[in-house]
Chains A and B, each alone.
Chain A
Amino acid sequence: MSFSADLGSSPIVTITGCVIVAIRDDLDDSAVMTLQNQLVDEIARKNAHGVIIDISALEIVDTFTGRMLAAMAEMSKVLNARTILVGMRPAVAMTLVELGMTLSEIETALNADKAMMMISAERDRARRE
């Protein structure tokens, strides 16, 4: 495990090839962009195969942040890493749906634990084959 970056207080941590980002409470637009850049760097540098984005601290996800999350998942995919979005609050989920933003292209899980299991299960399967 290694701490690679600490942006404000949104830490990016890599554990056994899986990048975990815990987004801190309310980022302004430029912080979101910086985070995106750092995440992509981290994936490439650590040759990570999985990305977990934890948004449990977020009370607000507007269309801008939603689009950034979708873009992060898309970029990770290009770098051959599977992205799972975890910890979305009920109020945030309902609001995004009302905005018409269902983020159907991003995988989701309840929490980082479950996402970690999903990613390592897939990796084990890949190894066996």
Chain B
Amino acid sequence: MASDTIDIASILKSDFEKILSAWLRVQAREGIKRTDIISAEETAKQSRDLLSAIARAAEDARVDREFDFGNPAWDGVRQTLGEISKNRTERGVSPTEMAWFVSSLKQAFFTPLRELLSEEPSKLVEQITDATRVVDNFALHAFDCYVQEREAIIERQQSEMTEVSAPVVKIWDRIVTVPLLGTLDSFRAQTVMENLLQAIVEREAEVAIIDITGVSTVDTMVAQHLLKTAAAVRLMGAECVISGISPKIAQTIVHLGVELPNVVTRVDLQSGLAYAFERIGVSTRLNGL
């Protein structure tokens, strides 16, 4: 690369502070208005970090037509973008604001390029095209990071919610129960099964009661999941009781043609518990249960 070439690498070297303050001005005008979420100081710091990373990478990597974001020289930029994205996603920054943050860098590059290349319009067009491509790649990467981070948050919340909504309780010595509420999708069914089986080991339970009183709909898939859970409970050496089979659910199960072989079913939790007591040899006459 000739030393007199004017491109983003050269202007970053000669006019770093100028570009940074121009970028911050553009951001203040059009970018992030939510200073309640990200303070002006933080924005300034993140912008400086990113611009420094770009300046460092541009010394070794090409920023012209041959620009290749896959080049390891850009690793630092990718990492910084990832950190900023993560930080902003966690604070609840919107996708538009995130995209603007990076894209607004273009305008900061354009001003010095326009000044330095005012005599050479064809070179100016070329440099603007290259700079646009480079910044667009950064913006796309930032957006990828943003989406990934959002997905991770959703997954984490989903699993936390599942934990909370399906607690396995030791209801009596050697008896555990899990009351199910709401809808039972595959993901939740899997978690319920895992939790229940783990509780059987930890509590040395001989009977596991799954109470489906609170389950809104029982279709073939839900019935399949219940059957699988019952089979797994038996393999571990415990007995599975499904309680809370309302008359409506009983009808549905028969209509669906689902068979529940080797699974004990009871109308409500009380009768399920009575059955469990009988199995482990506890007398239930005492307190009028």
Contact = CB atoms under 8 A, between A and B. Distances in A.
Contact of A90 (B231, B234, B236, B262): B236
Contact of B204 (A85, A102, A110): A110
Contact of A108 (B197, B198, B201, B237): B237
**Secondary structure class of chain B's binding surface, majority of residues:** helix
B231 A88 contact: no
Contact of A103 (B201, B233, B235): B235
A57 interface: no
Interface residues of B, number: 19
Interface string A75-96: 0000000000111111011101
Nearest to A86: B237
A97 B236 contact: no
A110 B280 CA distance: 14
B238 A93 contact: no
Given A98-B228, A110-B200, A90 B237 contact: no
A93 B204 contact: no
B194 interface: yes
Contact of A97 (B194, B198, B228): B228
B288 to A, nearest CB: 30
B235 A108 contact: yes
Given A97-B228, A108-B236, A114-B237, A90 B198 contact: yes
A20 B17 CA distance: 78
A14 to B, nearest CB: 22
Given A102-B231, A104-B262, A110-B206, A94 B197 contact: yes
A40 to B, nearest CB: 23
Interface of A: 85-90, 92-94, 96-98, 102-104, 108-111, 114-115
Interface of B: 193-194, 197-198, 200-201, 204-206, 228, 231-238, 262
